[in-house]
């Protein structure tokens, strides 16, 4: 699928998924796309765990108590390591881990779309007061120096995809 | 260009640029790709300013004192607004502005690559102790509620593109 078509077709999907397993090779391809994203000072702070085992997927959706996405046949858990890129002129440690994982997630959302799957960037409650990240990390045996920050469900959508309404181009872009 | 080919071809470019202007329509297309990225709770916190005026481009590269990219014939300045998405269970305000602009930047880097241009995600020193962001914002007349966080040069590369070395897939990805 051509890049600009993929970008236009990508939407956050909160509907039901068809009960078709996602081939291992597709999950690998999606994760390879994610890991190909740039990272600040090439620190490669983002790590990925694809979850294919139905019992683990069910437990993660139980932890997350989501009103959507529970029927996804696979998911990818995004984790991040705090690696310092450098210290700035105030001696302040700079890490680009949030930028790094966000770029990796965007690449994966595009890859998911190009392969005919749907997904949704689920981050908010995982790192909120409910601390779902710790439960998810324990379940998936994530190393202690990584933090779980995002779950991407992956599967064939059973329902129609809806685009959110966005501000017009002229409200968010200018030329100088 | 096909998505997976674009993802594989995208590299951070720090070489010289050919002295060919970038058509206005291409800058618009790149920014449209950026604004099509998702944002947390659809808050659309990312704004973009394409700079085509040679005098402004020169002044920005003067401010940034970069050892590379100064020959780029165009650039895009990424700015962000702190908009609160919601408060979590600890009453903590959550804004996804960093994730939002990083996803928009990744879409733009892919669009730049697909259109045959080169670029480099330049963020570090803009928001460091040197506070280049304030000088850039003043020069480009960026509204006071936005912060400049990244400059993306845009132009045809004069030199070869080099890929950075990354860890193997198995060191950053797992299956469960």
Choose, out of A11, A57, A106, A118, the residue to mutate when testing the contact with B (most B CBs < 10 Å): A106
Answer yes or no: is pLDDT of A128 > 90. no
- Cβ-nearest to B172 among A35, A106, A110: A35
Q: Is residue A94 part of a domain?
A: yes
Positive or negative, the CA dihedral A111, B156, B36, B166 is: positive
Q: Is residue B53 part of a domain?
A: yes
CB atoms closer than 10 angstroms to residue B82: 12
Task: Compute, in degrees rounded to 10, the torsion defined by CA atoms A38, A40, A44, A48.
Answer: -70
Q: Is residue A66 part of a domain?
A: yes
Contacts of B40 in chain A (CB under 8 A): 121, 123-124
Predicted pLDDT at A69: 87
Q: Characterize the bridge pairing of strands B173-175 and A46-51.
A: parallel
- Average per-residue pLDDT for chain A: 95
Chain B residue whose CA is closest to A11: B38
The residues, any chain, with a CB within 8 Å of residue B74's CB and separated by 6 or more, are B21, B22, B27, B50, B51, B52, B57, B153, B154, B155
Question: Could you tell me the CATH number of the domain that includes residue B60?
Answer: 3.40.109.10
Q: Is residue A123 part of a domain?
A: yes
Residue B88 — very low, low, confident or very high, per pLDDT cuts 50/70/90? confident
Distance from CA of A127 to the nearest CA of B (A): 9
pLDDT tens, residue by residue, B107-119: 999 999 999 999 9
Residue A110 — very low, low, confident or very high, per pLDDT cuts 50/70/90? very high
Q: Is residue B164 part of a domain?
A: no
- Cβ-nearest to A3 among B3, B12, B24: B3
The domain total for chain A is 1
Contact call for residues B92 and A129 (beta carbons, < 8 A): yes
Answer yes or no: is pLDDT of B128 > 90. no
Chain A residue whose CA is closest to B87: A128
Q: Is residue A124 part of a domain?
A: yes
Expressed as residue numbers, the domain containing A37 is 3-9+17-159
pLDDT tens, residue by residue, A4-58: 999 999 999 999 999 999 999 999 999 999 999 999 999 999 999 999 999 999 9
CA–CA distance, B172 with B176 (Å, rounded to integer): 14
Residue B69 — very low, low, confident or very high, per pLDDT cuts 50/70/90? confident
Predicted pLDDT at A30: 98
pLDDT tens, residue by residue, B130-153: 889 999 999 999 999 999 999 999
Predicted pLDDT at A158: 96
Predicted pLDDT at A68: 86
Predicted pLDDT at A117: 98
CA–CA distance, A16 with A71 (Å, rounded to integer): 6
Q: Is residue B14 part of a domain?
A: yes
Q: Is residue A121 part of a domain?
A: yes
Among B118, B134, B175, residue whose Cα is nearest residue A48: B175
Strand-pairing partners, residue B93, are: B87
């Amino acid at each position: 699928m051509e890049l600009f078509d993929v970008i236009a077709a990508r939407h956050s999907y909160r509907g039901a998924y068809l009960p078709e397993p996602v081939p291992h090779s597709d999950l690998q391809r999606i994760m390879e796309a994610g890991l190909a994203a740039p990272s600040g000072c090439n620190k490669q702070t983002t790590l990925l765990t694809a979850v294919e085992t139905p019992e683990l997927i069910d437990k993660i959706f139980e932890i997350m108590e989501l009103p959507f996405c529970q029927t996804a046949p696979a998911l990818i858990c995004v984790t991040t390591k705090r690696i310092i890129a450098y210290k700035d002129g105030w001696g302040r440690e700079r890490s680009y881990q949030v930028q790094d994982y966000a770029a990796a997630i965007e690449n994966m959302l595009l890859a998911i779309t190009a392969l005919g799957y749907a997904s949704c960037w689920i981050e908010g409650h995982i790192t909120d007061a409910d601390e779902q990240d710790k439960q998810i990390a324990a379940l998936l045996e994530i190393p202690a120096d990584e933090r779980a920050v995002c779950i991407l469900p992956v599967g064939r959508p059973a329902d129609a995809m809806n685009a959110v309404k966005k501000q017009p181009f002229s409200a968010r872009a200018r030329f100088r």
